Structure 1
């Protein structure tokens, strides 16, 4: 009997739920039923208020601090980059000035070295000219002495040649005095 009671109670319970469902309009979602809207609006406002308080008091300030920190970090980095860039430009200008100064000094040194080399060249060329002039004077003196010697020999050779010609033509031997006398007569 107990088993029968249990089965009948289960059947009644099942029938009771079916009756309630049929009585309330045939099922559906309770969110769309007007009798539950008051409680739903209260819970909606409560949850909205809790979320608003959490966002405005906890999450948004933390997010704001993070964003402000990032913005400050970026601004500091940009300012540091500008300082470094300005410093680099100043160093580049200083380096360019040093390069220009070094070029000017190098040009001056080159001009000075060129002038010094030209002076040394002129000095050595003058010394070489003097040496060559001395050699030329010495050579001219030797040439004069050789010419004078040759001229002295020319007279002797001419006299000997004249003697040989006269002897060949006439068959008689002549002396150097006879040829010298004949030459002096022809010149007068």
Structure 2
């Protein structure tokens, strides 16, 4: 009969053998003998991530943010220019209207002076012609003003739509845009 080896593990000693092979039986990262290597790898990975963040990712993000800020500033500046242009056109339309009224009043005064010197029948014909000219002048002025104001509304609508689309990435609904422009017109009056 063979004698059993006193150093051979028995069925109950397999757990003890596993602990002896792996150290204290706990997690290896909590053992002091592994800390130097873990700290070295931690420092190496931290340095790599720091270099990547500072040299690659952060400059790219900064470029994107600066480009976005520039685009928004450009759109706002363009909107301001369009608004100034619209205000200048409105002021010009008012000046043209005042000139046309002054001209029409001057023509009316001349026509009345002329008509008073002529016969009653001639005076009635001249007054009718004068009224017709004033109506035409007013119609032309009104048409010019309406055309200018139509362009202002279109420009404001296009600019607002472009800004909203640029900021949100989605085009606004026409009904929402028209409602916002109508509210802005009411607020301006």
* TM-score of the pair, normalised by structure 2: 0.48
* TM-score of the pair, normalised by structure 1: 0.48
